[in-house]
Amino acid sequence: MRPRAAIASALAIEPEVLLMDEPFGDLDAQNCRIVQKEVRRIWKEIGRTILFVTHSIEEAVAGGTTLVMVSARPSRVHQPIRNDGRVERGKPIDDPNTMIMEEVLRQQGEAPLG
């Protein structure tokens, strides 16, 4: 499986930070879950920082402990969202969805939600 080989290759040099840009994008749903679980296991084992870049909120929530959404141009970082089990289960998905809608409205020149 190519994603597993790519991850193994990247980890072989023992980086302090591993950047994974859309690492599960080419996988079907079943293999995506398998590889996500494997990456999470490896992360717990090696204790290094892994930075995921993804367009999938569900993927980010499944694999990340801190979620950061970057807005469209001009790029801005929104407040990080903790995803470490201390917040209710749906909140890490609901907050980014709300941020996305606010960003869309901002780009369209409309007032933000709430």
3 state DSSP class of 82: strand
Separation of alpha carbons 54 and 60, rounded Å: 7
Only one residue has tokens 């994974």, namely 20
Please write the tens of the pLDDT for every residue from 7-37: 778 888 888 888 888 888 888 888 888 888 8
In the Cβ-directed half-sphere of 72, how many Cα atoms lie within 13 Å? 10
Question: Taking the complete model, does pTM exceed 0.85, yes or no?
Answer: no
Residue 75 · residue 107 · CB < 8 Å: no
> Is residue 87 scored above 60 in pLDDT?
no
